[in-house]
Amino acid sequence: MSGSKQPISRGLMGIQILLLLMPLSLLYLAASFYILAAIVEQPSLDAAPVALVLLLCAPCLWFGWQLTSAFFFGGRRALLQTSSRAWRWSSVGVALAFTATVLSQTSLLQSFLIKSQLGEVSLLQFGLPLLLPWLHAAIEKRLAMRESISQ
């Protein structure tokens, strides 16, 4: 995409933020509060992995917001200035969502997930659509890198 197509691409990112990132962030927050409240109400060692995964997801989501916002408000140049930490954490979030999706769809593990506290971890598969804005930001960063090299 040339520089003239950036406004269109940024508009598409805005749509992805409105239709994917905002609702799924709210879903994550609501589910986290519900699950963590249940864990506090009835503490158990079985719930520790669920709590850890939920806590691990918070920075992933935060940095995902940072990347998408950087592109939406600042364009490709802003993505070049984002920290590598933001890319690593958001990549972990994508990996968690993808892994949860694969595990929850694997018939061998489905019965285990349903019978255990780890069933809540399979809720992370709802984060898989966040792959779209993440890929969009990654492609835009790659294009920005090419543009800066060619200049």
Following DSSP, what letter does each residue of 79-117 receive, concatenated? Answer: HHTS-HHHHHHHHHHHHHHHHHHHHHH-HHHHHHHHHSG
Q: Tell me which residues of the chain have a pLDDT lower than 50.
A: 1
Phi, psi torsion values for 44, nearest 5 degrees: -160, 150
The pLDDT of residue 120 is 63
pLDDT the model gives residue 99: 83
Q: Which letter does DSSP use for residue 123 in this model?
A: G
How many H-runs (helices) and E-runs (strands) does the chain carry? 6, 0
Q: What is the pLDDT of residue 138?
A: 96
The pLDDT value recorded for residue 42 is 86
pTM of the model: 0.83
Measured at the CA of 18, the angle between CA 14 and CA 23, to 5 degrees, comes to 150
